Structure 1
Amino acid sequence: MEIFLKAETWLALLTLTFFEVVLGIDNIIFISIVSNRLPADLRARTRNLGLLLAMGVRILLLLTITWVMKFTEPLFHVPHWISEDGSISGRDLILIFGGMFLIAKSTREINHQTEGEEEDLDGGNQKKKVNVTGVITQIILLDIIFSFDSILTAVGLTNHVSIMIIAVVLSIGIMIIFSGKISDFIHKHPSMEVLALGFLILIGFMIFLEGLDKDIPKGYIYFAVVFSMSIEMINIRVRNKRKQAKEEAHE
């Protein structure tokens, strides 16, 4: 407990929590989109359960930090035109397959939007159970993919696992608080959902390239995300004002 009497401990905790939330933004958007395919009465419970289980997995990874760090060791070598350093590690494989998963899932969700495919979510209890299980599994898998970057960042900031765990708990709590509002907003505005899915494809491609040790400046991508979503927010406001003006004119 003596470490919590030091100012650098609290600074490390605040910094880690901030990084966990920032790195979890992509996760929140993905969770919001996949949970919106569930019946309304199951969405919040499924999101929260998925995030809590993901938190448990992330804490487990932190408790086995020595084992996790071994994932950065090369497993085999490849030509330099495939990977910058000519080797592929366990972390690289997770990022490569994770990026491919995110691209495939986001593309499928866009197809659902464009083709107007709707699953029978009001069918039997078995159908709902399968959907909930599938959504929770996807939340956990994606959280594991994003966990490696956050764990490596945490190791670089502090050597105390207890601080890392507290930062994870705080960040998951923040995600639980805001995921519902983000989910409702995305569900209410389909154009924002399509835009978010497009950027998830871009982020999936970035994760895939990162697995091949390609240096992609993340700042440019996140700036593009924020800028495009800001423009879409303005478009939504303009459409709402025009709709309101038409309704007032008819009255």
Structure 2
Amino acid sequence: MLLGGLFLIWKASKEIHESIEGEEEGLKTNVHSFLGAIVQIMLLDIIFSLDSVITAVGLSDHLFIMMAAVVIAVGVMMFAARPIGDFVDRHPSVKMLALSFLILVGFTLMLESFDVHVPKGYIYFAMFFSIAVESLNLLRNKKNPL
């Protein structure tokens, strides 16, 4: 669990840094071919699947719930990747919120690996409250664009 938590924190922190600072010049990738696009999609799916598994482990103590969460996450990625991607592109604060959830889960996993129990209700409440506040901000911005 320690390695999973560290992975989530590293990955989310890296994404946040790239979002704020921009990608480094040497790391920019351009997809010039259909094969390149397929390979890039497959790699992203593998990374997101790993995120899903680690996150499910961090948020539940029940094996069935973990497995269901991973199956649902993969299904959503397969069928709703484009609309979700478009939504996140229009609302970058949602991406930041999701990345901060990954950091929260990562720290929870790290604490659990040292036998420090964090009640899941605290995590769920923090996530629900954050989503509620972000939803209100999105509604406000929709009615009163800047």
Report the TM range for the smaller structure's normalisation: 0.7 to 0.9
Distance 1:144 1:184, change over 3 A: same
User: Runs ≥4 in structure 1, deviation > 6 angstroms?
Assistant: 149-152
Residues 1-35 of structure 1, C-alpha deviation per residue, up to 9 Å, x if partnerless?
A: xxxxxxxxxxxxxxxxxxxxxxxxxxxxxxxxxxx
In 2, distance between residues paired with 1:128 and 1:200? 26
In 1, distance between residues paired with 2:72 and 2:98? 21
2:41 aligned with 1:132, yes or no? yes
Structure 1 gap ranges (5+): 1-94, 158-164, 247-251
2:5 and 2:110 in contact (8 A); partners too: yes
SS of the residue corresponding to residue 62 of structure 2 reads: helix
In 2, distance between residues paired with 1:144 and 1:169? 6
2:108 aligned with 1:202, yes or no? no
Distance 1:220 1:196, change over 3 A: same
Q: State the percentage of identical aligned residues.
A: 35
Letter in 1 for 2:51: L
Q: In the alignment, which residue of structure 1 is the partner of 2:50?
A: 141
Q: In the alignment, which residue of structure 1 is the partner of 2:76?
A: 175
**Candidates 20, 27, 30, aligned match of 1:121:** 30
2:58 and 2:105 in contact (8 A); partners too: no
Residues 74-108 of structure 1, C-alpha deviation per residue, up to 9 Å, x if partnerless?
A: xxxxxxxxxxxxxxxxxxxxx11011000000001
Q: Which has the higher contact order (CA 8 A, sep 6+)?
A: 2
Q: In the alignment, which residue of structure 2 is the partner of 1:5?
A: none
Aligned CA RMSD, in angstroms, stands at 3.5
Deviation at 1:178, TM superposition (A): 7.0
Deviation at 1:129, TM superposition (A): 4.8
In 1, distance between residues paired with 2:60 and 2:47? 20
**Candidates 123, 128, 140, aligned match of 1:221:** 123
Deviation at 1:147, TM superposition (A): 5.9
Distance 1:171 1:216, change over 3 A: same
Distance 1:228 1:174, change over 3 A: same
In 2, distance between residues paired with 1:176 and 1:103? 21
In 1, distance between residues paired with 2:141 and 2:59? 38
* TM-score in terms of structure 2 length: 0.73
2:6 aligned with 1:100, yes or no? yes
In 2, distance between residues paired with 1:128 and 1:173? 19
1:121 and 1:128 in contact (8 A); partners too: no
SS of the residue corresponding to residue 213 of structure 1 reads: coil
Distance 1:196 1:234, change over 3 A: same
Residues 183-219 of structure 1, C-alpha deviation per residue, up to 9 Å, x if partnerless?
A: 4322320011112211211111101111222110111
Letter in 2 for 1:234: L
Distance 1:168 1:108, change over 3 A: closer
Letter in 1 for 2:76: M
